[in-house]
Chains A and B, each alone.
Chain A
Amino acid sequence: MFSKNDKVSIRQVEILLILDLTSTSVLSFPRTAAEIANQDAWIILIGATLLAFLFGYIITRVTKRFPGDTFVEISSKVLSKPVGILLSILFLGKLSITMAMELRIFGELVKQVLLPRTPIEVIMASMLLICSYLVRKGYECKARLGEILIFIIFIPLVIILLFVLPDTDFSNLKPFLTTPLPQLLKGSYFLAFLYTPMEFILMAGPLINNPKKAGRITFTAIGFVGVLNVVLAIITIGVLGAMGTRQQIWPVMTLMQIIEIPGAFVERQDVLMMIFWILSVFSFISTLMYFISFIITRILKADEHCFLVLPLVPVLYLISLIPDNIVEAFNWIEFLVKYFRILFLLPIPLLILIVARLRKLGESIEEK
């Protein structure tokens, strides 16, 4: 496995996906959920997770049908070449903007909480450079790093959450189900954006050494992250109350400020949360960067992605500096979420699947 540098095992993809899924908005999603449904936020998170299982199922069906192909080739084969290229470029643009905004928010948060006097440009540039270093080494390298990171991130996170439990007032979750059902459904659909990184699986086909088992990936990763999200939402609302959760830009960070770890000398536990968050954001940004360079490689039919990484750095950096402030950056993300979120999760994979079946392309359903 070590010699060929671009094949990863199913377990590794699972780990990478878990890391990517948690990083996007783990610090802020309870706010979004509480804005929609107040104390019923955790219910819409369950709904969102169920919806994500559907996305995952369809996306993995596509990958399984065309093992060894990425989204670029699949869409060209199935939907004709120009359409395929167009969709790939759209996909590329979406990933680039997502990445730039993620980077920007990372910079803003680090500047606000940890390094108030360091220029944000330096924070962002160092993050970008270290990501590009990792990306140049290939997907397998990323996967191995992920295997280390997942323990560093999740074990302390779970332990810290245990310390929050005594402060949790579960009566804050009452009354149950006062939100009308349409609102709950709408909220679930909206919050499914938490699981957008699922779309990476569309690209990861040729990178997995056993694509036949891809179905397992989505099941484990979404299941794990789904449970984590629901628990986090319950705890956040239990501690801060529905109104308090809505008030905070980063409620999960605030949560960390409240807890007291017995016997610990650390006064500001929110910094601990920052560490885990930075690690998972690092993983997420580098994944995005990898796939951005990977799509370009596939569109250009180039052999290697290495030489593309460094030229990407200034482009992404500039995009990330376009918004004037954090509010604008959030607006950009909202825009992306509104118009592009669902596109690569459900309609396009479904379209590909249906057309492929009609045109009898790919490995037809072999399970029988």
Chain B
Amino acid sequence: MKKNKILIVCILLSIFLLTGCWDSMSIDRRAFVLGLGIDKYIFDETKDEPSLNTHWTKYRIAFSIPNISKFAGEQGLTDEPKFVLVSTGPTFSNTYKGVGGRLNKVPYFGHVKSIVFGSELLKDKVLFKEVLDTLQRNSEFSRSIPIVAIDGAADEAIKAVPQSNPLLSIYINQLIESNKSETLQFKKKDLGELLQNFQEDKMTMIPKLTVGEKDIKIAGAAIIKDYELKGWLDERETRGALWIQKRNQRFEVSAPYEDFHVAYHVSNAKSKIKFGNKEDELSCHIDIQAEGNLDEFILDKSILSTKEIKKVEEAIAKVIKDEVLNSLKILQEKYQADVIGLGKELERQHPKEWLKVKDNWEEVFEHLPISVNVNIFIRRVGQSK
């Protein structure tokens, strides 16, 4: 009997003593930050408080928090789909912790869906490094968050409301996910990959975000070298660079043929990079191979002859080759930025050669003779002959 009593006391005690812990927090006390727009703070006399004009305010960060009760279909107090807070502060962490003073909930970053970097931040080497360090050190930020860059202010982008999904950060995430193997306009870059690029190659490309009136677009890329923005690639230039990098893609190419344009759907493309070394001069050869269908051809003209197909194939190949050469030229001459990973490929294929050129790879890359060969195969031509 006595034993039973002790047991009961133990059970009761555990009920009272073991409920919750220091870290217990109910879910409605948390503000789930879905998107971050990080930018350098630039004092604007017309709008900002004069007290902000010190060297202590260096960041301007926009946080996008969804109105959960609206999405749950409850009658909330407001009708806004999301709230955007813009905060400033001396360090990145200080800024985002500082939001706590303005928010009735605890900000939580485990569900961040995308991060937008403003162009001013990307131009500032020190600040950008600080941001990347925080994102890497803090375990709340997942390494699979997609990163985009905007040529403008990041908080403006976060405030934008795309029509089909007012939550911009989720919209960006979905857009990138559903297009990642269907387009050559951009290449998905997530936080982990970004950090890895900087550590290994010192340079990278970040997809470029453009915000319109009621929609957004991700196309093109920012070239970042040694934590500093060097410039932007437009859509066509990005395409050319991505032909070399991407694999197993599906996308469209159009090429002028006779008086018309023909459309070609690539169902599988691959590129091979080879290096030659003649008389101590390094050269590079890129072999691109693509196969796919001819989607559009010329009405009333028969394509059912091998000769005709060869001619169309050549026309398409020429367009692609031009695109690739154009991008390579820009990367080599304008930016000296090997964002397509030729250096890495050289290291993997010829580690000894790489050791020789490793220290002045930028110069070597600038003058590296690169030849491009494109092979196109048309496998199917559609229903009409």
Given A117-B23, A244-B199, A270-B139: A254 touches B192 (CB 8 Å cut-off)? yes
Asked whether, in the complex, the Cβ of B195 is within 8 Å of the Cβ of A171, the reply is: no
Indicate which residue in B144, B199, B351 contacts A175 across the interface (CB closer than 8 Å): B351
Contacts between chains A and B (CB distance < 8 A), count: 59
Task: Please tell me if the beta carbons of B22 and A244 are within 8 angstroms of each other in the complex.
Answer: no
> What residues of chain A lie closer than 8 Å to B314, measured between beta carbons?
none
Residues in A with CB closer than 8 Å to B139 are: 112-113, 253, 257, 270
**Which residues of the partner chain A approach B15 to less than 8 Å between Cβ atoms?**
none
Q: Cβ of B142 < 8 Å from any Cβ of A?
A: yes
Q: Which residues of A contact B192 (CB under 8 A)?
A: 240, 244, 254, 257-258
A109 to B200, CA, bound (A): 27
Question: Are the C-beta atoms of A243 and B110 separated by less than 8 Å?
Answer: no
Residue A35 at the chain B interface, CB threshold 8 Å: no
Q: Does B196 make an interface contact (CB < 8 A)?
A: yes
B27 at the interface (CB under 8 A from A): no
Flag if B196 contacts A171 (CB, 8 Å). no
Residue A178 interfacial (CB < 8 Å): yes
CB distance from B155 to the nearest CB of A (A): 25
Considering the complex, give the chain B residue whose CB is closest to the CB of A270: B139
- Please classify how large the interface on chain B is, using the bins under 10, 10 to 19, 20 to 34, 35 or more: 10 to 19
Residues of B contacting A116 in the complex (Cβ-Cβ under 8 angstroms): 23
Please measure, in the bound complex, the distance between the C-alpha atom of A253 and the C-alpha atom of B200, giving whole angstroms: 20
Chain A contacts with B in 100-122, Cβ cutoff 8 A: 112-119, 122
- Interface digits, A257-273 against B, CB 8 Å rule (1 contact, 0 not)? 11010000001101000
Q: When chains A and B are docked, how far (Å) is the Cα of A178 from the Cα of B192?
A: 25
CB-CB under 8 A from A244, the residues of chain B are 192, 195-196, 199-200
- Chain B 193-218 interface 0/1 with A at a Cβ cutoff of 8 Å (1 = within): 00110011000000000000000000
CB atoms of A258 and B143 under 8 A apart: yes
Q: Are B196 and A178 in contact (CB under 8 A)?
A: no
Residues of A within 8 A of B349 (CB): 174-175
The yes or no answer to B111 lying at the interface (CB within 8 A) is: yes
Question: Are B351 and A243 in contact, CB atoms less than 8 angstroms apart?
Answer: no
CB distance from B361 to the nearest CB of A (A): 15
Give chain A nearest CB distance to B260 CB in angstroms: 41
Structural contact, A243 and B199, CB atoms closer than 8 A: yes
Partner of B200, one of A241, A257, A260, A270: A241
A183 sits at the interface (CB 8 A): no
**Given that A116-B23, A119-B22, A270-B139 are contacting pairs, would A241 and B348 also be in contact in the complex, using a CB cutoff of 8 Å?**
no
- A5 on the B face (CB < 8 A): no
Most chain B CB within 10 A, of A112, A119, A241, is at A241
Provide the bound-state CA to CA distance between A213 and B130, in Å.
57
Of the candidates A115, A122, A175, which one forms a contact with B347 in the assembled complex, judged by CB atoms under 8 Å apart? Answer: A175
The residue from B21, B136, B200 contacting A118, defined by CB atoms under 8 A apart: B21
A247 within 8 A of B: yes
B144 and A258 contact, CB distance less than 8 A: yes
Please report whether the interface of chain A is mostly helix, strand, loop or mixed according to DSSP.
helix
Residue with the greatest number of chain A CB neighbours at <10 A, chosen from B111, B139, B195, B348: B139
Instruction: List B residues 1-45 near A (Cβ within 8 Å).
Output: 21-23
**Is B348 a contact of A171 with CB atoms below 8 Å?**
yes
Instruction: Select B21's contact among A113, A115, A241, A254, beta carbons within 8 Å.
Output: A115
Bound complex: CA of A254 vs CA of B141, how far in Å?
Answer: 10
In Å, the complex CA distance between A118 and B349 comes to: 50
From A122, A178, A242, A258, B351 is in contact (CB under 8 Å) with A178
Known: A118-B22, A119-B22. A257 touches B143 (CB 8 A): yes
A241 close to B111 (CB less than 8 A): no
Instruction: Name, among B21, B136, B143, B144, the residue most crowded by chain A CB atoms within 10 Å (CB to CB).
Output: B143
Would B142 and A268 count as touching, CB distance under 8 A?
yes
Chain A residues near B143 (CB-CB < 8 A): 254, 257-258
Instruction: Give chain B nearest CB distance to A31 CB in angstroms.
Output: 13
CA distance A165 to B27 in the complex (A): 33
- Report the Cα distance A240→B253, complex, angstroms: 33
A 32-71 to B, binary, CB cutoff 8 A, 1 in contact else 0 = 0000000000000000000000000000000000000000
For the complex, what is the distance from the CA of A365 to the CA of B87, rounded to whole Å? 76
On chain B, the residues within 8 Å of A270 by CB distance are 139
Shortest Cβ gap from B242 to chain A (Å): 17
Bound: A159/B326 CA distance, A: 45
A64 to chain B, nearest CB (A): 45
Measured in the bound complex, the distance between the Cα atoms of B196 and A247 in whole Å is: 9
Bound Cα distance A118, B22 (Å)? 5
Question: Is B22 a contact partner of A174 (Cβ separation < 8 A)?
Answer: no
Question: How many Å from the CB of B135 to the closest CB on chain A?
Answer: 12
A241 to B198, CA, bound (A): 12
Q: Is the CB of A174 within 8 A of B144?
A: no
Please indicate the chain A residues that have their CB under 8 angstroms from the CB of B22 in the complex: 115, 117-119, 122
Q: Is the CB of A118 within 8 A of B23?
A: yes
- Output the nearest chain A residue to B192 by Cβ-Cβ distance: A258
Least CB distance from A76 to B in Å reads 43
Cβ-defined partner of A243 (8 Å) among B21, B142, B196, B348: B196
Q: Which of B110, B195, B199 contacts A268 (CB 8 A)?
A: B110
Smallest CB separation, B352 vs chain A (Å): 9
Which residues in B have their C-beta under 8 angstroms from that of A253?
139
| Minimum distance in angstroms from B342 CB to a CB of chain A | 14
Closest B residue by C-beta to A118 = B22
11 more CB-based (< 8 A) A-B contacts, given A117-B22, A258-B144: A112-B139, A114-B23, A122-B22, A175-B347, A178-B351, A242-B200, A247-B195, A257-B142, A257-B192, A258-B142, A268-B142
Chain B residues near A (Cβ < 8 Å): 21-23, 110-111, 136, 139, 142-144, 192, 195-196, 199-200, 347-349, 351
Counting from the closest, the 9 A-B pairs by CB-CB distance are: A174-B348, A118-B22, A243-B199, A175-B351, A117-B22, A244-B196, A115-B23, A257-B143, A243-B200
